[in-house]
Structure 1
């Protein structure tokens, strides 16, 4: 009964244990990475000195060479992708410049269209006024003709 730990303290201990286990796992991973890195450095150093003599070292050298070739291939693909992206960016920039020019041309055309619309409206008003004056003159001419017809027979007789 004296060995019973209060629940709160038990939970704290559990949490603490999990944290310590997590830290231990991280340290193990870190040590593993350092060991792999050290191994790679040793293989490189031995390869550069020509000290490889056993099959395991030869396998390490082969794997290292394959990794270097893979990295070079990835670097080449990256450069190719960057070149394609740069070309595409240049194309997009050219397209943007063309769109800007087109926008200015459209704005100019809209302004010219507005001026033509105003001129057309003025011409239509002038035509309407001219037609009204023409109508009035025709009515006056008709009235004068009627008046002349009335006057002419009377003066002849």
Structure 2
């Protein structure tokens, strides 16, 4: 195991690393490197700029997660991690898509029923209909209900015992 100690001396513009356990002969080994002043200054400026960019990136991501958290149906009292926000948002989006699909199918069925009322009833079509077959609108509503229940379970799980009040 090697234990290193480092020191920077501003006066001599040198940086030294010392192996505290010593070399094979038991003597402390010191390695020095003189860094040109321009390179040190440039490296320091680059690091400052990189740190500023990273702080800005982290701030932007934090603000985006906060906006997303406000968009999901969870009370402000429930403290969520970023991962929890993503999981709830995904379940919420799935539920909204199922709701839109159920609504679209319901509208299509209503339009079809309106057209059928204008025509004489086709008894052969009614006879062919399977009694166990659900209309596509009912299937869509069942899917929406399933997605809604899944969303509620996800919210309860992610809130971890916090006050749970869907918005």
Structure with greater Cα Rg: 1
Q: Larger relative contact order (C-alpha < 8 A, sep ≥ 6)?
A: 2
Question: TM-score normalized by structure 1?
Answer: 0.28
Question: TM-score normalized by structure 2?
Answer: 0.27
